[in-house]
Each structure stands twice: as C-alpha cells, then as structure tokens.
Amino acid sequence: MNLDGIMEDALKGGPDAVAIACADVRAGFVLGASARGDAERDAATSAAACAAQLCATPRLGADPDCDEDVDGTSALVVSSSWIHAYARVARKPELVIVGVARGDANVALLLDWVKRVAGGLEAVA
Amino acid sequence: MTAPVSSRETGLQFAVRNAVDVCAFVDRLSHDAAGEILVAREGTLARGAVFVEGGRVCWAAARGLAPRLTELLIRSSGVDAETMESNFRHCKLAGVPLGELLVARGLVRDAELRAALLQHTIESMDALCHEDASASWRPRPGGYSPRFTFTTSEVLARSLGHAHRGLAAASDRALDVFSNAPPGEWGAAFIRGGAFAAPSPIAARGFLPETAAAVLRVGKWAASALDVAATFQSEDAFLTAMEAGGSSLVAWRHDQTIIAGRVWAQGPARILNHRATLRRRARTASQD
C-alpha cells in the first residue's frame, strides 16, 4: 500500500490543511505523510509520533486500581498557532491519521476531513 | 490490583497523610461496607473518625471540632443558638442525627444541611490527616440518609481545595464552563507536585464520577497528554480525546493548574468558545 500517495491525494481535499500523516501507533512508526512544505511535514510527523498517547483515554471502571488505557476514536490539539486532528482507523486500530492546519482554520471541518480519510483507509488497508 | 476491603476486615492499619489516602481506602471498600475509619497519631488513642457507608463518606469527627457543625448550621440557616441546643438535646436522647431532625422540622433546608455537613467533614479530615497519622477500619451499622452523604470525588476535591484556597479560587473562571453542564459532564482543576505524587483536584464542577480514583485517573491522563502535546504544540493548547461511547476527555492548562474533565459531543466546541471569550476579555481589559 502506497501510503505516501494516499496521503498526497487526501491533502488535496483537505479544508485549510497543510499536512497529513499516518502512524502505526503499535509499532511506533510514521508510515506516510504529505505536506505543503518541509516545516509542515515536520509538524505532521512530530504530531503523528505522539498519536499513541493522545488517542488513548484511561479506563474509568469500578476497579480503583485499574491503570489501563483504552483506544480513543479521535483527538484534537488546538492552539492559536496550530490545530492537530487525529482519527483512528476503526478496523485497523493501530493506524491513526493526523491532519494539521493553521490555528485560524475551522476545527470541526479539519476533524471531519481526517475522519473521512481514516474511513477511506479502512477500505484499502 | 488490591482486593476490596470486606466489611469483616478489622485491625488493618494504613497511613492517612491527606484526603487522598482516606478516599483511596473508601474507594476500595466493598459497596455494602459500613463503619468508621479511626484515626490515631503516634500510637495515641483515636483523635477522631471518618464515617463511611455504601462507598460514600457520611461525615467526619475530630477532637475539638464537635461544636463546629452547630456553628455552621446556625450561620447558614439563621436558627438561634437556643433552638439549636434544645434540638441537640432531643437528638442525644432519641439517638437521631441532629441535621436530619432539623430538616424534618423545617428549620434547615436540605442544601444548607448538605453544605454544612460537607464543610464540617472537610475541616475534621483536615485536622485528622497528618504525616504521622495512621488509621484502622471498624465496621459498625450504617443508617445514614444517602442524600446527606458524599462521594469520595466530592470529598477529595473539596478537601484539597480547602488546603489550596488561593489556587482553587483562581481556577473558578476556567471551571465556569462546567457550571451548567448536562448530566454526565464534569471538570476539575488539578495541581501537581508538593505533597502529591499525582495531579490532585482542588476544585470541581458538574456531575463528578462516584470515586476519587476516577477523578485522579483523569488528572493523570491530562497531565501526561498535555506534556506530550507540548513537544509539538504551544503550552496553552486545548486537548480533547474522544471515547468510543460519544463522550470526550478534555484538558488544558490554566495558570498554575490543569483543567480536565469529561464532556459530551458538544462539550469541546463549547469549551473552545469559552476559552476564546476569556482571551478576548483579557485582551480588552489589558487595552483599557
């Protein structure tokens, strides 16, 4: 599977997106990325490398000593400079897509786009 | 994993340095357990006790603080000291809780009693907990009205907030976003460092989970996720992680605290708007 090619195609349809990457959170590798420039590519790969921690939430059950995490479906990191949106590929939960946009972009549109890319990847992965 | 403490276990000694220790013990009790945590210091006789039933804290009593509850009730309800004393005498003879009698007689409102009991419990626990304090569990029959008892999450946030009043007050504005939250949503301000190994809540709003353990887990998640996000984003970033059931965990830094909580689908957008409004106000204020 040519993930760089898939990311490149996806970026063309991204609303205000400047970069996109796909990470295997179990193996800890960034499998593919596409960006408008080198700085944006770095921003996407750095963010993708943190996907395992950011796309996980604590299991809040009855056992007070449980210290396990569970897979989150998506995540957002938003500041005035950058927006990073994450979405997990449902049937391949080890794969997480991260999209990057400038801080003034529309957060909801970016997240929706990243989720669509993750959904599309499900069909080919 | 620690096995739940059954109602039959007695004599177990454990440290009670702060409210975190008390709440952790209560969270591990089996749900049908009722009894008291007897607190002693340096091997002396009990200095007081924390009464527990059904995984909830009913109230705490510490030596020297016995008149405090009536003080708090007189202040909040406006009942005069003489009426309070006659009701107190009646309770002693009848063996019924004073607060519940005052509510039954219409002298104190539910909310006033609840607030006074919680404040009294917090102050008593503050007096009981200490670096060299230890405690043991003694089962005894229950019978407290659940509406006047408290979850460990509520007790923990109020206790630590009592000890860090300045920081708790400073987090008020950030927590406003959880004030009119729908059922299931909550948020808390956490501090880290000092006496606490893990991020600890000092103020909370909304519908807290039952256990202090769940609140502490979210605080730990928030601190760790914000540290990770800070490696590629600015320090003031807002973070949200969506869970499979449609809820989201949220986290951001506010002055010296971390704000974290759990919200439904519209929660992250509401918080982003709230943060933008606060930022605009701060900018306007600095220009004036």
User: Residue B223 is part of a domain; what is its CATH number?
Assistant: 3.30.450
Domain that holds residue A26: 3-124
- Closest chain B CA to residue A44: B232
pLDDT surpasses 70 at B7: no
- Closest chain B CA to residue A69: B221
Best mutation target among B21, B210, B215, B242 (most A Cβ atoms within 10 Å) is B242
Q: Tell me, yes or no, whether B27 lies in a domain.
A: yes
Is the CB of B114 inside 8 Å of chain A's CB atoms? no
Please provide the size of chain A in residues: 125
Q: Tell me, yes or no, whether B67 lies in a domain.
A: yes
Q: What's the CA gap between B202 and B221, in Å, rounded?
A: 16
Is the CB of B197 inside 8 Å of chain A's CB atoms? no
What CATH number is given to the structural domain containing A68? 3.30.450.30
Name the B residues in 209-268 with CB < 8 Å from any A CB: 209, 211, 213-214, 217-218, 220-221, 224-225, 228-229, 231-234, 236-244, 249, 268
Overall average pLDDT of the B79-108 stretch: 86
In a 3-state reduction of DSSP, which class is residue B210? coil
Q: B283 and B158: one domain?
A: yes
Q: Which positions in chain A touch B27 (Cβ < 8 Å)?
A: 64
Nearest to B12 by CA among B32, B31, B33: B33
Question: Is residue A11 a contact partner of residue A20, using CB atoms and an 8 Å limit?
Answer: yes
% of chain B with per-residue pLDDT over 70: 94
Q: B140 and B266: one domain?
A: no
Position A50 confidence tier, pLDDT thresholds 50, 70, 90: very high
Q: Chain B closest CA to A83's CA: distance in Å?
A: 9
Position A125 confidence tier, pLDDT thresholds 50, 70, 90: low
Position B11 confidence tier, pLDDT thresholds 50, 70, 90: low
Position B1 confidence tier, pLDDT thresholds 50, 70, 90: very low
Q: B98 and B207: one domain?
A: no
- Model confidence pLDDT, tens digit, residues A80-118: 999 999 999 999 999 999 999 999 999 999 999 999 999
Number of domains in chain A: 1
Q: B170 and B131: one domain?
A: no
Q: Which positions in chain B touch A53 (Cβ < 8 Å)?
A: 224-225, 228
Q: B129 and B24: one domain?
A: yes
Q: B282 and B156: one domain?
A: yes
Q: B32 and B120: one domain?
A: yes
Best mutation target among B207, B231, B232, B238 (most A Cβ atoms within 10 Å) is B232
Q: B202 and B103: one domain?
A: no
Count other Cβ atoms within 10 Å, centred on residue B219: 25
Q: What's the CA gap between B201 and B186, in Å, rounded?
A: 12
Q: Tell me, yes or no, whether B2 lies in a domain.
A: no
Q: What's the CA gap between A84 and A124, in Å, rounded?
A: 24
Give all strands (DSSP E) within chain A, no chain letters: 17-24, 29-35, 56-58, 69-71, 74-78, 82-88, 95-102
pLDDT at position A122 is 84
pLDDT at position B3 is 44
Q: Tell me, yes or no, whether B1 lies in a domain.
A: no
Best mutation target among B233, B252, B253 (most A Cβ atoms within 10 Å) is B233
Q: What's the CA gap between B26 and B28, in Å, rounded?
A: 5
Question: Is residue B66 a contact partner of residue B123, using CB atoms and an 8 Å limit?
Answer: no
**B240 Cα distance to chain centroid:** 24
Domain that holds residue B70: 13-148
Q: B29 and B126: one domain?
A: yes
Overall average pLDDT of the A119-124 stretch: 86
Q: Which positions in chain B touch A35 (Cβ < 8 Å)?
A: none
The domain boundary residue, chosen from B117, B148, B179: B148
Q: Could you report the predicted ipTM of this complex, rounded to two decimals?
A: 0.94
Overall average pLDDT of the B63-68 stretch: 85
Number of domains in chain B: 2
Paired residues of A58 in beta bridges: A69
Compute the mean pLDDT over every residue in chain B, rounded to the nearest whole number: 89
% of chain B with per-residue pLDDT over 90: 60
Question: Is residue B239 a contact partner of residue A56, using CB atoms and an 8 Å limit?
Answer: no
The domain boundary residue, chosen from B132, B148, B164: B148
Q: Tell me, yes or no, whether B5 lies in a domain.
A: no
Contacts of A5 (CB under 8 A, 6+ apart): A32
Q: Tell me, yes or no, whether B8 lies in a domain.
A: no
Is the CB of A53 inside 8 Å of chain B's CB atoms? yes
- Model confidence pLDDT, tens digit, residues B205-264: 999 999 999 999 999 999 999 999 999 999 999 999 999 989 999 999 998 999 999 999
Q: Chain B closest CA to A77's CA: distance in Å?
A: 5
Q: Tell me, yes or no, whether B128 lies in a domain.
A: yes
